[in-house]
Amino acid sequence: MENIIEVRSLAKIFGNQTALADVSFNVGKGETFGFLGPSGSGKTTTIKILTAQMSQTDGEAFVFGSPAADLRKPDKRSKIGILTDNSGLYERLSVYDNLKLYCDLYDVSYTRIEEVLQMVNLEDTKKKKVAKLSKGMLQRVNLARAFLHKPALLFLDEPTSALDPVNTKHIYKGLQTLKEEGTTIFLTTHDMNEAEELCDRVAFLNKGTIQLLDSPKSLRRQFTDHTITVELVDGNKEIIDIGANGASKLYNYMSENKVISINSNEPTLGDIFVEVTGRKLS
Amino acid sequence: MNMSIKRLMAIFNKDYKDLSRNLYVSFTVVVPLFLAAFMGRQGNIALEQQYMVYNLTLCLVTAYIQCALIAEEKEKNTLRNLMLSPASTMEILAGKGLLSFATTLLVLGLSAFFLDYMPKDLIVVTAAMVLSAIFYIGLGTALGLMTKSAMEASVIIMPFVFVFSFGTSLSFFADKYPFLHAADYLPNAQLLLLAKEVELGAGFADVWSNLGIIAIWVVVMTAITVAIYRKRMVD
Ligand SMILES: Nc1ncnc2c1ncn2[C@@H]1O[C@H](COP(=O)(O)OP(=O)(O)OP(=O)(O)O)[C@@H](O)[C@H]1O
Ligand SMILES: [Mg+2]
Q: In the prediction, which pLDDT does B202 show? A: 81
Q: In the prediction, which pLDDT does B25 show? A: 86
Which ligand lies nearest to the CA atom of residue A37 in the structure? 1
H/E element holding A116? helix A111-119
A185 and A253 assigned to the same domain? no
Chain B CA closest to residue A45: B235
- Written as one string, the DSSP assignment of B98-110 is HHHHHHHHHHHHH
Q: In the prediction, which pLDDT does A281 show? A: 59
Q: What angle, rounded to 10 degrees, do the helices at B30-40 and B89-114 form?
A: 20
Q: In the prediction, which pLDDT does A108 show? A: 96
Q: In the prediction, which pLDDT does B78 show? A: 94
A9 and A52 assigned to the same domain? yes
pLDDT beyond 90 at B13: yes
A201 and A248 assigned to the same domain? no
Q: What is the ipTM of this complex?
A: 0.88
Q: Name residues of chain A where pLDDT drops below 50.
A: none
A179 and A245 assigned to the same domain? no
Per the CB < 8 Å rule, is A74 touching B86? yes
Q: How many angstroms separate the Cα of B138 from the Cα of each of B32, B93, B130?
A: 20, 9, 13
| Ligand 1 contact, A182 CB (< 6 A) | no
On whether residue A270 sits in a domain, the answer given is: no
Q: How far apart are CA B158 and CA B102, in angstroms?
A: 22
Per the CB < 8 Å rule, is B86 touching A89? no
Q: In the prediction, which pLDDT does A2 show? A: 87
A66 and A50 assigned to the same domain? yes
On whether residue A84 sits in a domain, the answer given is: yes
Q: How far apart are CA A244 and CA B209, in angstroms?
A: 98
State in Å: Cα B142 to ligand 1 middle.
Answer: 27
Above pLDDT 90, what percent of chain B?
A: 58
A69 and A54 assigned to the same domain? yes
Rounded average pLDDT over B87-114: 94
A208 and A246 assigned to the same domain? no
pLDDT beyond 80 at B181: no
Q: In the prediction, which pLDDT does B160 show? A: 84
On whether residue A279 sits in a domain, the answer given is: no
Strand segments (E) across A15-123: 17-28, 32-36, 58-63, 66-67, 80-83
Q: In the prediction, which pLDDT does A122 show? A: 92
Q: How far apart are CA A89 and CA A94, in angstroms?
A: 10
Q: In the prediction, which pLDDT does B157 show? A: 87
Contact A180, A192 (CB under 8 A): no
On whether residue A271 sits in a domain, the answer given is: no
On whether residue A177 sits in a domain, the answer given is: yes
A132 and A207 assigned to the same domain? yes
Please enumerate in sequence order all residues whose Cβ is within 8 A of that of A162, keeping only pairs 6 or more positions apart, or say none: A135, A136, A138, A139
* Maximum distance among all Cα pairs of chain A, rounded to whole angstroms: 72
Average pLDDT, chain B: 89
A44 and A75 assigned to the same domain? yes
A174 and A84 assigned to the same domain? yes
The pTM for the full model equals: 0.88
B1-20 residues touching A, CB cutoff 8 A: 6-7, 9-11, 13-14, 17-18
A244 and A207 assigned to the same domain? no
Strand A153-157 relative to strand A201-206, pairing: unpaired
Above pLDDT 70, what percent of chain B?
A: 93
On whether residue A107 sits in a domain, the answer given is: yes
Q: How many angstroms separate the Cα of B100 from the Cα of each of A51, B23, B28?
A: 31, 15, 12
Q: In the prediction, which pLDDT does A190 show? A: 82
A167 and A138 assigned to the same domain? yes
Residue pLDDT, tens place only, A86-131: 889 999 999 999 999 999 999 999 999 999 999 998 999 999 999 9
Q: How far apart are CA A220 and CA A275, in angstroms?
A: 12
Domains identified in chain A, total number: 2
Model confidence at B174, pLDDT cuts 50, 70, 90, reads low
Chain A environment of B82 (Cβ under 8 Å): 105
Q: In the prediction, which pLDDT does B148 show? A: 85
CATH of the domain at A153: 3.40.50.300
On whether residue A274 sits in a domain, the answer given is: no
pLDDT beyond 70 at B175: no
Contact A140, A122 (CB under 8 A): yes
Task: Identify any residues that bridge with A118 across adjacent strands, giving them in sequence order.
Answer: none
Closest by Cβ to B6, choosing from A55, A72, A104? A104
Per the CB < 8 Å rule, is A101 touching B235? no
Model confidence at B134, pLDDT cuts 50, 70, 90, reads very high
Rounded average pLDDT over B108-131: 93
Contact B198, B124 (CB under 8 A): yes
Q: How far is B29 from chain A (nearest CA, A)?
A: 20
**Which residue has better confidence, B91 or B201?**
B91
Q: In the prediction, which pLDDT does A223 show? A: 81
By most ligand atoms within 8 Å of CB, the mutation choice from A41, A207, A210 for ligand 1 is: A41
- Which sign does the torsion angle of CA A74, A76, A78, A82 carry? negative
Rounded average pLDDT over B61-83: 93
State in Å: Cα A191 to ligand 2 middle.
Answer: 13
Contact B147, B134 (CB under 8 A): no
Among protein residues, the one whose CA lies closest to atom 3 of ligand 1: A14
- In a 10 Å sphere around its CB, with 0-12 CB exposed, 13-18 middle and 19+ buried, how is residue B206 labelled? middle
Q: In the prediction, which pLDDT does B173 show? A: 66
Q: How far apart are CA B67 and CA B75, in angstroms?
A: 12
- Range of A241's domain? 225-265
Q: How far apart are CA A29 and CA A195, in angstroms?
A: 18
On whether residue A272 sits in a domain, the answer given is: no
